[in-house]
Structure 1
Amino acid sequence: MGTKVKVALGAVVGIVVIGAVSANAGSDGGSGSSGGKDKGSSASAGQSAGGKGSGAQKPGAEAAEEKKAAFDGDGDFQVGSDIKPGTYRTSGNTEGMCYWERAKDASGETDAILANDNVTGTSYVTIKPGDKLFKSTGCHDWEAVGAGAKGTPASAMKGDGGMFKVGVDIAPGTYRSTGNADDSCYWERTKDAGHSVESIIANNNVSGSAVVTISASDAYFKTAGCKDWKKTG
């Protein structure tokens, strides 16, 4: 990932494990291989809240406002002038080449970083009113996600799909991923899209089988480097 990798704070794939809940279960559930973008009941980067091709057209004023709120996947954006605070989504990113960063100033120094991540698949990020700069490199375009976003929650998801919005992209419940090797599978339940340590409800790095219960009160579920997940209960 070269120069796109920076020292990340908090919820970075495969680094911090806080209050993790997992189990090496060998009974019910399914397996799959991460990677491909097959359609069906599996949640993927192409379906979700506010996503492109999501169906019905918005009324004129609302559609214009949403289009205005979207911004390019490459560039530095000043919060308040270039972009508004709010939650945004990028999807369809591959091999961790998408890098984003929330910063408290434009100094470019490491201690200015509030949160950051390298993304495969989808990422949701909430840019806060106190943020000064949002940086995006190598990402697909970002689009605004409204608080009342709706979708058809799936019962399976790609193991390297990134972030899924609970109740919109995926249904709450117990999910299982099998065949993971060398702790390369990382999952995370979060209460928001701020990407701080405080955002994490639970997380883990997994070898073998992973079982996690996603609560209806969780905001998002993040998965990276895992085999595909299937809902078992």
Structure 2
Amino acid sequence: MGGLFGFLSFAAFVAFIVGMVKPQIVVFWAQKKSRGPACLYLAATVIFSIIAGIAGGGAPVAPAATSAPSSVSSRVVSAASPAPESTAPISSAAPVSSAPEAKSYPAGMYKIGSDLPAGEYVLISDGISYFQIAKDSTGELGSIIANDNFSGQSIVTVNAGQYLTLNGATAYAIADAPSVEVSSGKLPDGMYKVGRDIKPGEYKVHATNSTAYIEVAKNSTHTLDAIVSNDNFTGDKYITIKDGQYIKLSGAELTLG
């Protein structure tokens, strides 16, 4: 098809040249017409032939092959790479918070029910310490309910309206008090609650000086009527204590067994 249109185009071109030189040969009535109309006719023929050749076209030319892209990512820049999946285990355990520090009451004078809740307290000595429980704040001897010099630790029970004085000691509610150290297998000077600090049973007590003292009490009020038994002794002594009682040692040590 392309060859036919090429031939027609070439023929039209030859006719155009001839028409320009001798138009009477192309148009039989050239003797009666001027050269101008014949030229116009030939020009129209050429233009029509060229348009027909373009419309028909030659054989399609295959586009030049392009090399395959070296990387998909170099062409597609908008596609986001997926985030790497985490392999770390997810913990379902709730966060563990540390236990709050036990509240303590340093040396001073406290009004029970106002400054200090009523209850039982462990007093931790800073050396040689003193405590006093009074029924009022007059400071008179007659207002004293109980008092004591101690080392190590002591235990007291105070009621609302009373006054507690501490010298060289710190008070803790008994539920918050530090545990007694028993790794040595012995209990030194101090006051201990049976069932909390020491198990019920029979124990051997050894005097560490010439003024050793031992006391067993039914509560921690430090009043005379709370005393179950007491003794000043030298050398060794055996004592039996029951659950809920209190044992006080001064100048002596108890062997745990």
TM-score using structure 1 length: 0.60
Q: Is the 8 A contact 1:180 1:206 kept in 2?
A: no
Q: How far did residue 207 of structure 1 move? A: 1.3
Report SS of the residue matched to 2:116.
coil
Sequence identity (%): 32
Q: Which residue type is aligned with residue 81 of structure 1?
A: S
State the distance in 1 between where 2:120 and 2:193 align. 12
Report SS of the residue matched to 2:117.
coil
Q: Name which of 142, 147, 150 aligns with 1:116.
A: 147
State the distance in 2 between where 1:107 and 1:200 align. 27
Report SS of the residue matched to 1:136.
strand
Identify the structure with the greater strand proportion: 1
1:204-228 deviation digits (Å, cap 9, x = unpaired): 1111211101122x421110111x2
State the distance in 2 between where 1:153 and 1:221 align. 16
State the distance in 2 between where 1:229 and 1:192 align. 20
Name the Cα RMSD after superposition: 2.8
Distance 1:181 1:79, change over 3 A: closer
Q: How far did residue 57 of structure 1 move? A: 5.7
Map of 1:26 onto structure 2: none
Q: Which residue type is aligned with residue 219 of structure 1?
A: Q
Map of 1:230 onto structure 2: 255
Q: Which residue type is aligned with residue 231 of structure 2?
A: N
Residue 175 (structure 1) aligned with residue 203 (structure 2): yes
Q: Which residue type is aligned with residue 87 of structure 1?
A: E
Map of 2:237 onto structure 1: 210
Higher relative contact order (CA 8 A, sep 6+): 1
Identify the structure with the greater helix proportion: 2
Map of 2:120 onto structure 1: 87
Distance 1:101 1:200, change over 3 A: same
1:155-210 deviation digits (Å, cap 9, x = unpaired): 943332x111111111111111235553x111111111111011111111111211
Distance 1:57 1:122, change over 3 A: farther
State the distance in 2 between where 1:181 and 1:119 align. 15
Map of 2:194 onto structure 1: 166
Matches within 5 A, 1:149-164: 156-160=185-189, 162-164=190-192
Map of 1:137 onto structure 2: 167
Map of 2:7 onto structure 1: none
State the distance in 1 between where 2:146 and 2:200 align. 26
Q: Is the 8 A contact 2:152 2:188 kept in 1?
A: no
Q: Please, which runs of 5 or more residues in structure 2 have no aligned partner?
A: 1-96
Q: How far did residue 102 of structure 1 move? A: 0.6
Q: Which residue type is aligned with residue 232 of structure 2?
A: N
Map of 1:51 onto structure 2: none
TM-score using structure 2 length: 0.55
